[in-house]
Amino acid sequence: MTHYDWGSGAIVKPEEPMKKKNVQIIPAQTDLKRRAVNFVKGFDINLSPEQLEELEKVVQRSSETFVRDIGKDLMDCRRMIIQALGDKTKRQDAVATSSDLAYSVKALGGTFQYPLMTQIAKSMENFVADRTTANEKQLLVIQLHIDSLYVILAGRVTGFGSTVEQATVAALTKLAERYEQPRE
C-alpha cells in the first residue's frame, strides 16, 4: 500500500506488505472506575451553592495548613542556619535542609497564591543546588532568602507583590550569584 511521506514530500511504496497488529481493548473494571471517581460523593459539573461553599472551605483549610507548616519549616531551617554559622559540623545538614525547604516552597507557593515565595524559593534552590556545605557568607545568603520567605508568609503577601517585593527578588538573585562560588 502506498502512502505519502510528509517529510520528503514523496509517495512511498513499501517494500514489505504492512502487517496488521493485534490489539485488544480491555474495558476498565467497575471497582477501578469507582476508585478513580467517587460516584457517591462526587461533584456534579454544575455545582450548587452548597457544594461551592464546601469546596471553598476545603481550599481555605489547605491554605491555612500550608501557611502553618511552611512557617514552622522556615523557623526550623533558620534556626539550623544560625547554629551552622557557629558550628561548622552542622553546615552540611543546614544546607540539605535548606535545599529541601526551597524545593517545597517553590513547588507549593504558587498553588496557594504565593508566587512571590515561589520566585524566592527558586533563587534559593538554585543557590544550594549541588552544594554539600557552605561557608559563612553563603549561609547568610540562605538566611536572607529564608527571612524574605518568612516576611512574605507572615504578611500574607499574595500575588507577585509590588515593585519593592520584585526588587527584593532581584537583589536576592544577584546576591546568590555573587556568592555562589566556591561550591563544595
What's the CA gap between 132 and 23, in Å, rounded?
51
Question: Which position has the grid cell 464546601?
Answer: 54
Predicted confidence at residue 163, as pLDDT, reads: 87
Predicted confidence at residue 33, as pLDDT, reads: 55
Backbone angles phi, psi at 158, to 5 degrees: -90, 165
What's the CA gap between 118 and 44, in Å, rounded?
33
Inter-residue contact 131 to 183 (CB < 8 Å): yes
* Half-sphere exposure for 62 (CA within 13 Å, toward CB): 11
Which portions of the chain are predicted below pLDDT 70? 1-21, 23-24, 26-45, 184
Residue boundaries of the structural domains of the chain: 62-178
Predicted confidence at residue 61, as pLDDT, reads: 83
Find the helix packing angle between 136-154 and 115-128, rounded to 10°.
170
pTM for the predicted model, two decimal places: 0.69
Predicted confidence at residue 138, as pLDDT, reads: 96
3-state secondary structure of 5: strand
Kindly report, residue by residue over 125-157, the tens digit of the pLDDT: 999 998 999 999 999 999 999 999 999 988 888
Predicted confidence at residue 50, as pLDDT, reads: 85
| Residue 114 DSSP code | -
Predicted confidence at residue 5, as pLDDT, reads: 58
Backbone angles phi, psi at 133, to 5 degrees: -150, 180
* Half-sphere exposure for 97 (CA within 13 Å, toward CB): 22
Predicted confidence at residue 140, as pLDDT, reads: 96
Question: Which position has the grid cell 518568612?
Answer: 150
CATH code linked to domain 62-178: 1.20.120
Burial (0-12, 13-18, 19+ Cβ within 10 Å), 20: exposed
